[in-house]
Amino acid sequence: MKYLKYAFVGLALCLSAQACRGGNDGPRRPKARYALAGPLVPAATTMVTAWDIPDNPLNDSTLGNSPLSEQVRWGYRIFVDTPRQAARFTHSRMSCNNCHLNAGQRERSLPVVGVAGLFPEYNARAGRLISLADRIVDCFIRSENGTGSLEDSDDPSAVENVRDLLPSPTSKEVLAVAAYLAWLSKGYPVGQNPAWRGRNAIPADRLIPVDKLDGHKGEGLFTEKCTSCHGADGQGVQIGDKKAGPLWGPDSWNDGAGAARVYTLAGIIRYAMPYLDPGSLTDDEAQHIAAFITSKPRGRYPFKEKDYASASIPVDAVYYKAQR
């Protein structure tokens, strides 16, 4: 606990004095006080770097004022403040940035730098190729619980009508986020996975069968290592101007989201959290904690029966199992 207190004091100093911010050595990239991991904030740094954005379109004087540049900047603002900037599609209190840390520019925290050129890509959940815009729509309707307004409706016609209000690949918010992600991918090869992609997975030989995971053990670990910032109720504690997104309940991601899968969530937790000592959990601990978090209630994604129509339901998609 003492360690934690000092870390918070450090954070407060960092925030108030701006002492931690480096000077500028180029139009796009402020000089960091540590070596970047390629284009990314290194996974080994702590919450002290939570505010660092290696490539920030708001500070890039070369970006200019073209309509595209305006959209790149708005896409960035949506990414870091989704509930306010894209309110009509966001029924959770999640920002994209809560899971894709440092505006998608942190190592082993689901980074999105250089990924635009990988789309269209085959997606097993959809059973077809998906575009970058499709992928963004998916994170809106699932991770942001964009379908939240339909949650309590049992009337199928209501569901179909309200569906028009859901984000689509041509919604202006989706296109703005796509513009930000394309800007982040400038100069990276098309069709080639960047080295930092897909590194939030627990190795296959370390996975514990889902029915052997111990949610009680996970709860104990959560109480010990996570509640200082996430709260005993999982809804997030204010730290300076930051607040983690709710880990469960109606304001969290819904049960059709990638993060509602036990192993996917464990992979986020294993490498990105706890924020003052990321990487300190074991593979087993991360999975027990993920089992605890995915045992909690959350918003219902109403189109689950359309997912995995041409594939088997992944073993860790626990909310789907309950349904079928």
Chain residues in the site for ligand HEC (CB under 6 A): 47, 50, 79, 82, 94, 96-101, 110, 112, 115, 135-136, 139-140, 143-144, 177, 181, 197, 225-226, 228-230, 239, 242, 244-245, 247, 253, 257-259, 264, 268-269, 273-276, 281, 289
Nearer to ligand HEC, 100 or 108 (CB): 100
Least distance (Å) from ligand HEC to the CB of residue 23? 23
With CB atoms as reference, the residue minimizing the distance to ligand HEC is 258
Question: By C-alpha distance, which of 98, 99, 37 is closest to 264?
Answer: 99
Least distance (Å) from ligand HEC to the CB of residue 136? 5
Least distance (Å) from ligand HEC to the CB of residue 156? 27
Least distance (Å) from ligand HEC to the CB of residue 273? 4
Nearer to ligand HEC, 161 or 170 (CB): 170
Q: Is 204 left (phi over 0), alpha (psi -120 to 50) or beta?
A: alpha
Q: How big is the chain, counted in residues?
A: 324
Nearer to ligand HEC, 161 or 254 (CB): 254
* Count of CB atoms situated within 10 Å of the CB of 114: 23
SS (H, E, C) 96-130: HHHHCHHHHCECCCCCCCCCHHHCCEEECCCCEEE
**How far, in Å, CA of 123 to CA of 167, rounded?**
19
Nearer to ligand HEC, 150 or 273 (CB): 273
Nearer to ligand HEC, 158 or 309 (CB): 309
Q: Which CB contacts under 8 angstroms, 24+ apart, belong to 300-305?
A: 300/151, 300/254, 300/255, 301/141, 301/142, 301/145, 301/147, 301/254, 301/255, 301/256, 301/257, 302/147, 302/150, 302/151, 302/153, 302/159, 303/147, 303/256, 304/255, 304/256
Least distance (Å) from ligand HEC to the CB of residue 35? 21
Least distance (Å) from ligand HEC to the CB of residue 69? 19
Tokens 């998608």 map to which residue? 104
Nearer to ligand HEC, 150 or 179 (CB): 179
The alpha carbon torsion through 133, 200, 87, 15 (nearest 10 deg) reads: -130
Nearer to ligand HEC, 43 or 99 (CB): 99
Least distance (Å) from ligand HEC to the CB of residue 41? 11
